[in-house]
Amino acid sequence: MDARSVIRAVRDGEGLTADGAAWFARGLADGAVSDAQAGAFAMAVLLKGIGAPGRVALTQAMRDSGSVLQWDMPGPVIDKHSTGGVGDSVSLLLAPALAACGCYVPMISGRGLGHTGGTLDKMESIPGYRALPGIEVLRKVVGEVGCAIVGATGEIAPADKRLYGIRDISGTVESIDLITASILSKKLAAGLEGLILDVKVGSGAFMANADDARALAKSLVETANGAGCKTTALITDMNQPLGLCAGNALEVIEVMETLTGTAVSGALWDITAALGGEALVLAGLAADAEEGAERIDEALETGRAAEIFGKMVAALGGPVDFVERYPDRLPAAPVMRAITAPRDGFIASIDTRALGEAVVHLGGGRLVGSDKINPSVGLSEMRMIGEAMGEGDPLMLVHASDAAHADAAEAAVRAAYHFSDEPPEEPPLIHERIGI
């Protein structure tokens, strides 16, 4: 078997066999497959597809191209993945809440992609936090604390790392087959028993269209279950930011306020409870999603999730008093500016992608891979669809490094908000559940 025969079979609509997928993934990892061959393979998959069996084969092959973690824990090993949004800091709430309910959560996360925020970038706004500690530290922290939010090292799914870069430069990012295998190969390499997926849809999601989001959710759920990992997905709304803040340190503050009960973010809490409820069913720790959500609520309300979050931060190099002193430990931007409503009326719609791009251009994300993130910048106190506004009422606060960046963000925010004289229909938080 060689690269040409695998590419030719996919190109001619014959699909991808398990043997072909295994050979190609090994070749991606060890360099036997050239960049040109990887690009040809990705384009053939985009144009012809590989079907459900091919997606399972490619996912398992890329998973097995590196280390696959094995666990010997007294409870189920569970994780969550989001396809990315704006103001979405659910992972920071859910990991410790699941741990408080008896799960073990090796949450291997990513950095910001495009206009969407990255879980690792948020955690790295905490001084001293080590987001890339290596597999042995991950094992130790998960075993002792119950959860660890970290990034993937080169040992995890190296075939995906190679193919991911090729997809970006070969115009094949949109392939649902390749998206599915990319997401799941990294997650399943963590040795999970169950996975809950948060597939975003709307103006701030990569899948803005409901049909596309549903197709991706079904592909992910069918493939993960086919690869032996119990998986369910919720399709959740991203027609407006999920939280009231967007920006790394600002989102951590919102999480800490919610964990400690200082100022609860209702939408963040509700999505965390819904996803956590489904995860506890997969883990065998709840009879149904409603019971599971109640257990997540209790973990948040009692402060047990906050306690575990603090232990995780300390175990990974952050401040030992982070839960008690988080306002003092996180960086703050030197310029804060209130953006006001231009007219009376109701917020009718929000271009959520534009708000995410505004955070990126403030310095809260990367325009090129080498950019250094400013963790202090972003947007806070954002107003949401359906809220009644008077002319001059605050829409949000911009946190910027200087006046010029604040000016640009103000222009972007004003263009992103649309008003009406009549109250609009507010989008639901959860659109659909996809299961087997």
What domains can you pick out in the chain, each with its CATH number?
3-63 (1.20.970.10), 78-325 (3.40.1030.10), 335-420 (3.90.1170.30)
Helices (H), 232-351: 248-260, 266-282, 289-301, 304-315, 322-329
Give catalytic status of residue 167 as yes or no.
yes
For 56, phi and psi rounded to 5 degrees?
-65, -45
Q: Which is the catalytic residue, given 48, 55, 79, 295?
A: 79
Q: Which is the catalytic residue, given 48, 55, 63, 81?
A: 81
Lowest mean pLDDT among 56-70, 148-162, 197-211, 381-395: 148-162
Share of the chain above pLDDT 70, in %: 100
Query: pLDDT, tens digit, for every residue of 178-230?
Result: 999 999 999 999 999 999 999 999 999 988 999 999 999 999 999 999 999 99
Give catalytic status of residue 81 as yes or no.
yes
Average pLDDT over all residues of the chain:
95
Contact 339, 396 (CB under 8 A): yes
For 306, phi and psi rounded to 5 degrees?
-65, -40
Give catalytic status of residue 182 as yes or no.
yes
Nearest to 232 by CA among 204, 274, 190: 274
pLDDT > 80? residue 149: yes
d(CA 319, CA 201) in angstroms, rounded, equals 36
Q: What was the pLDDT predicted at 370?
A: 74
Query: pLDDT, tens digit, for every residue of 296-354?
Result: 999 999 999 999 999 999 999 999 999 999 999 999 999 999 999 999 999 999 999 99
Share of the chain above pLDDT 90, in %: 89
Q: Which is the catalytic residue, given 122, 161, 167, 329?
A: 167
Handedness of CA 123, 71, 280, 212 (dihedral sign): positive
Q: Which is the catalytic residue, given 82, 91, 172, 219?
A: 82
Q: What was the pLDDT predicted at 337?
A: 97
Q: Which is the catalytic residue, given 186, 353, 383, 399?
A: 186
Query: Cβ atoms within 10 A of the Cβ of 32, count?
Result: 13
Nearest to 80 by CA among 340, 362, 275: 275
Q: What was the pLDDT predicted at 180?
A: 95
Query: Cβ atoms within 10 A of the Cβ of 367, count?
Result: 10
Give catalytic status of residue 80 as yes or no.
yes
For 157, phi and psi rounded to 5 degrees?
45, 60
Q: What was the pLDDT predicted at 67?
A: 92
Q: Which is the catalytic residue, given 91, 109, 182, 265?
A: 182
pLDDT > 70? residue 138: yes
Helices (H), 336-380: 352-359
Task: Indicate the pLDDT class of residue 369, thresholds 50, 70 and 90.
Answer: low
Residue whose entry in the numeric block shows the structure tokens 């910048």: 377
pLDDT > 70? residue 273: yes
Task: Indicate the pLDDT class of residue 167, thresholds 50, 70 and 90.
Answer: confident
Give catalytic status of residue 119 as yes or no.
yes
User: Is pLDDT larger for residue 122 or for residue 154?
Assistant: 122
The residue type found at 177 is D
Query: Cβ atoms within 10 A of the Cβ of 134, count?
Result: 12
Query: Cβ atoms within 10 A of the Cβ of 168, count?
Result: 12
